[in-house]
């Protein structure tokens, strides 16, 4: 049913001195009379933060009962037929008598509020009871035939929210007929600033009876009671929100940030904004406004500036590599009189080649959502203390400490806060290329992470301890340990599970460790194992616990494993493995063509006997006459 054919039947709303009402009864054009009375209007309770309440005046809070009686008549009807149903057409506004405020069922108001960030949060108990002769005919009121919509009208320009927004009319009628008390629900609503709010109720009745006059002469009564209103007044503290620094500085055409030169050695988040005249040695950035006015408050402005130092640093260009030219060293300051908040720290400190230290004293990350690539390419940072970080809302952490396009990796010792990453879904490439000492990841919370692809790709640290990791939700582990030489101890990591993983492509590609024990792996959900062990240099690989029943792609899975002497695939099945075509450098490759490429002829490969025919069909043996997909002859086992 489109918007013209389904209009809200009764709109109960108070706006100033006039209330407008429209009603559509599908198949019947309805004229009606409304009798409304407010009963037992009383003051509600005020709870919550009441200190300093006189600053806002006394909130006006009302509650009471409204009785609505609707008589339906058939007149000036227009119809359109949709299947066996008739919908009202030719609907017009109708004249009726109304009195001021007669439809107000609850009001909450803050008067004299001085700030837009003052909030009045309320809850109330709303009861809607239906009665009348229309309830005797169930045909027009079948499931999903009508709704009661809850909305709000407000005096003032500030934002109003209300919940719930819609109730099935059938639920109201069922509760009224069967339980007598009517439908009851808790309503939550909020107003901001110097405004008031009224709960409004829109009632939509639809007639699906082919008899176009079936509702004529019938009536329906609604008793709407709103009581036990409880409200709290709060004033949001002034918060300084900043935009992503790259967005501001690139827009201002300032080449210092991540461009052809990066002179910044130290960055400071400070709780002041000095007078411009008080700084003698202004650097490249000269008091640029970094405020995010959409999120912050007028009092919480953020300014960024830089000051020159007394020495030179290297000029660096990502386009041509490191340059021998020098530029004046600078310190960068991000200041506000309030604590500084940021929702987006994506690449915030990225590509600052000369950066050594960051003072996070006045940075609050409790509302940050994105930290992906936050320090990418800033590989000369010294010890990085993130212990003050609140990452409870951070969703994206991919590439956070990766080198980007650089050949060298991140070297800094990193201190993490407890629960680091608790909300993150992506840690892809987080420590890609890391070259520092041992990472202490014991404070990580990875229980929400779904993507760990490339997480320790090219990792050159001394070891990896993932005993604190919960990987139960991880779907993608592609390239996770590719090009890594650190010994991996999956048997010691009890929460490192692979039950949900679907993609293991290149997971151990060019892994340089001496051995791999993957007996704890659950691969029952994996579909992609392409290049999973390509160029693995160990001598033995026991994959007898692997379930490959869902795997469709084994392209180059063991390609280049020329040191293998034993390969146990005794539980492998190849039923769903497909000949996926790969395109590289203009050439096309068969999905089966490189699966066992360079596995030595002398390697003992165990295959389940029941898979013999399927295995030999998909991976034919090379002969003098035929260049097949493998050199070895498997040992078939039961």
Q: Residue 134's pLDDT is what? A: 65
β-pair type (106-109, 288-289) = unpaired
H-helix or E-strand containing 60? strand 60-71
The DSSP letter of residue 492 is G
Please check whether residues 251 and 164 belong to one and the same domain. no
Q: How far apart (Å, rounded) are the C-alpha atoms in residues 261 and 549?
A: 53
Please check whether residues 231 and 243 belong to one and the same domain. no
Give a yes or no: residue 422 inside a domain.
Answer: no
Please check whether residues 16 and 88 belong to one and the same domain. yes
Please check whether residues 266 and 228 belong to one and the same domain. no
- For residues 185 and 163, the answer to whether their CB atoms sit within 8 Å is no
- For residues 572 and 600, the answer to whether their CB atoms sit within 8 Å is no
Q: How far apart (Å, rounded) are the C-alpha atoms in residues 84 and 343?
A: 53
Residue in the block written with tokens 């609850």 = 106
Please check whether residues 249 and 276 belong to one and the same domain. yes
* SS3 of residue 490 by DSSP: helix
- Sign, CA torsion 334/336/340/344: negative
Tell me how long the chain is. 638
Q: Residue 53's pLDDT is what? A: 41
Q: Residue 3's pLDDT is what? A: 37
Question: Considering 364, 399, 423, which residue would you say is the last residue of a domain?
Answer: 364
Question: Considering 196, 211, 235, which residue would you say is the last residue of a domain?
Answer: 235
Q: Residue 217's pLDDT is what? A: 56
Please check whether residues 180 and 249 belong to one and the same domain. no
Of 333, 329, 330, 338, give the one whose Cα is nearest residue 268.
333
Q: How far apart (Å, rounded) are the C-alpha atoms in residues 83 and 518?
A: 62
Please check whether residues 172 and 29 belong to one and the same domain. yes
Q: Residue 351's pLDDT is what? A: 82
Q: What's the total number of domains in the chain?
A: 2
Give a yes or no: residue 581 inside a domain.
Answer: no
Q: How far apart (Å, rounded) are the C-alpha atoms in residues 537 and 254?
A: 48
- For residues 379 and 403, the answer to whether their CB atoms sit within 8 Å is yes
Residues spanned by the domain of 159: 10-235
Of 252, 234, 236, 348, give the one whose Cα is nearest residue 299.
236
Please check whether residues 310 and 226 belong to one and the same domain. no
**Range list of H helices, 474-573:** none
Give a yes or no: residue 218 inside a domain.
Answer: yes
Output b/e per residue, 18-42; b: 16+ Cβ within 10 A: ebebebbbbbbbbebebebebeeee
Q: Mean pLDDT of residues grouped by 10 in the chain (638 residues)? A: 34 25 27 33 44 48 64 41 35 28 51 63 82 63 54 55 71 80 82 65 52 55 77 70 74 41 88 88 86 63 91 72 76 92 90 91 94 92 94 95 86 94 96 90 96 95 91 96 91 92 97 91 96 95 97 94 96 91 72 88 96 93 79 94
Give a yes or no: residue 428 inside a domain.
Answer: no
Give a yes or no: residue 446 inside a domain.
Answer: no
Give a yes or no: residue 74 inside a domain.
Answer: yes
Q: How far apart (Å, rounded) are the C-alpha atoms in residues 446 and 421?
A: 6
Please check whether residues 268 and 313 belong to one and the same domain. yes
* Structural Rg of the chain based on CA atoms: 35
Give a yes or no: residue 159 inside a domain.
Answer: yes
Please check whether residues 162 and 172 belong to one and the same domain. yes
Please check whether residues 318 and 174 belong to one and the same domain. no
Q: How far apart (Å, rounded) are the C-alpha atoms in residues 46 and 238?
A: 24
Of 413, 416, 425, give the one whose Cα is nearest residue 370.
425
- For residues 628 and 636, the answer to whether their CB atoms sit within 8 Å is no
Output b/e per residue, 486-497; b: 16+ Cβ within 10 A: bebebeebeebb
240-241: strand order across its sheet: 240-241, 340-341, 363-364
Output b/e per residue, 605-628; b: 16+ Cβ within 10 A: bbbbeebeeebbebbeeeeeeeee
- Sign, CA torsion 257/258/262/268: positive
Q: How far apart (Å, rounded) are the C-alpha atoms in residues 192 and 80?
A: 44
Question: Considering 185, 206, 235, which residue would you say is the last residue of a domain?
Answer: 235
The DSSP letter of residue 179 is I
Residue 169 phi, psi dihedral angles, 5° rounding:
-60, -30
H-helix or E-strand containing 250? helix 245-251
Please check whether residues 193 and 271 belong to one and the same domain. no
Q: How far apart (Å, rounded) are the C-alpha atoms in residues 272 and 548?
A: 60
Of 550, 492, 541, 482, give the one whose Cα is nearest residue 514.
541
Q: How far apart (Å, rounded) are the C-alpha atoms in residues 265 and 357?
A: 7
Of 599, 602, 610, give the one whose Cα is nearest residue 637.
610
For the record, the structure tokens of 434 come out as 């890391």
Q: How far apart (Å, rounded) are the C-alpha atoms in residues 216 and 211?
A: 10
Q: How far apart (Å, rounded) are the C-alpha atoms in residues 379 and 408?
A: 8
CA dihedral 491, 494, 500, 504 (to 10 degrees): -30
Give a yes or no: residue 585 inside a domain.
Answer: no
For the record, the structure tokens of 313 come out as 């640093």
Q: Residue 170's pLDDT is what? A: 74
Q: How far apart (Å, rounded) are the C-alpha atoms in residues 188 and 120?
A: 11
């Amino acid at each position: 049913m489109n918007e013209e054919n389904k209009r809200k039947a009764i709109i109960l709303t108070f706006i100033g001195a006039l209330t407008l009402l429209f009603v559509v009864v599908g198949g019947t054009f309805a004229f009606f009379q409304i009798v409304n009375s407010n009963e037992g209007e009383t003051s509600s309770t005020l709870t919550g933060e009441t200190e300093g309440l006189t600053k806002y005046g006394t909130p006006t809070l009302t509650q009471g009962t409204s009785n609505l009686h609707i008589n339906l008549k058939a007149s000036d009807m227009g119809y359109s037929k949709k299947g066996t149903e008739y919908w009202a057409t030719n609907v017009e506004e109708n004249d009726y008598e109304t009195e001021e405020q007669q439809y107000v069922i609850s009001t909450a108001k803050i008067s004299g509020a001085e700030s837009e960030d003052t909030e009045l949060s309320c809850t109330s108990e709303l009861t809607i009871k239906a009665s009348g002769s229309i309830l005797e005919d169930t045909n027009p009121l079948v499931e999903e035939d009508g709704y009661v919509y809850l909305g709000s009208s407000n005096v003032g320009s500030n934002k109003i929210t209300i919940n719930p927004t819609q109730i099935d009319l059938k639920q109201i009628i069922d509760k009224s007929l069967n339980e007598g008390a009517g439908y009851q629900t808790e309503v939550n609503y909020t107003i901001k600033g110097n405004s008031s709010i009224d709960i409004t109720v829109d009632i939509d009745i639809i007639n699906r009876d082919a008899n176009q006059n079936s509702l004529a002469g019938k009536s329906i009564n609604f008793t709407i009671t709103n009581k036990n209103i409880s409200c709290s007044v709060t004033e949001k503290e002034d918060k300084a929100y900043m935009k992503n620094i790259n967005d501001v500085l690139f827009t201002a055409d300032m080449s210092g940030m991540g461009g052809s030169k990066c002179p910044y050695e130290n960055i400071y988040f400070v709780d002041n904004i000095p007078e411009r005249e008080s700084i003698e040695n202004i650097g490249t950035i000269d008091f640029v406004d970094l405020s995010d006015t959409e999120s912050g408050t007028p009092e919480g402005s953020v300014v960024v500036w830089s000051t020159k130092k007394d020495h030179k640093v290297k000029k660096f260009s990502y386009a041509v590599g490191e340059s021998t030219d020098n530029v004046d060293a600078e310190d960068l300051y991000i200041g506000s009189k309030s604590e500084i908040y940021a929702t987006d720290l994506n690449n915030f400190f990225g590509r600052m080649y000369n950066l050594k230290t960051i003072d996070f004293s006045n940075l609050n990350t409790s509302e940050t959502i994105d930290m992906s690539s936050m320090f990418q390419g800033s590989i000369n940072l010294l010890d990085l203390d993130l212990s003050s970080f609140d990452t409870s809302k951070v969703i994206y952490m991919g590439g956070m400490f990766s080198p980007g396009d650089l050949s060298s990796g991140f070297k800094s010792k990193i201190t993490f806060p407890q629960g680091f990453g608790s909300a993150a879904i992506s840690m892809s490439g987080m420590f890609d290329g890391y070259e520092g000492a041992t990472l202490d990841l014991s404070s990580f919370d990875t229980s929400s992470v779904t993507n760990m692809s490339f997480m320790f790709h090219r990792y050159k640290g001394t070891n990896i301890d993932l005993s604190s990791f919960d990987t139960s939700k991880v779907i993608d582990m592609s390239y996770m340990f590719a090009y890594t030489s650190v010994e991996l101890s999956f048997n010691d990591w009890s929460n490192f599970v692979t039950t949900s993983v679907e993609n293991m492509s290149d997971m151990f590609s060019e892994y340089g460790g001496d051995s791999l024990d993957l007996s704890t792996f659950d691969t029952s959900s994996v579909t992609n194992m392409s290049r999973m062990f390509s160029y693995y240099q160990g001598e033995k690989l026991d994959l007898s616990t692997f379930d490959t029943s869902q795997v469709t792609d084994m392209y180059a899975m063991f390609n280049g494993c020329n040191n293998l002497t034993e390969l146990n695939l005794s539980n492998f099945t190849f039923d769903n493995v497909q000949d996926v075509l790969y395109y590289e450098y203009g050439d096309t490759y068969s999905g089966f063509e490189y699966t066992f490429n360079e596995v030595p002829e002398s390697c003992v490969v165990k295959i389940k006997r029941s898979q013999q025919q399927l295995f030999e069909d998909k991976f034919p043996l090379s002969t003098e006459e035929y260049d097949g997909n493998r050199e070895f002859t498997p040992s078939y086992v039961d």
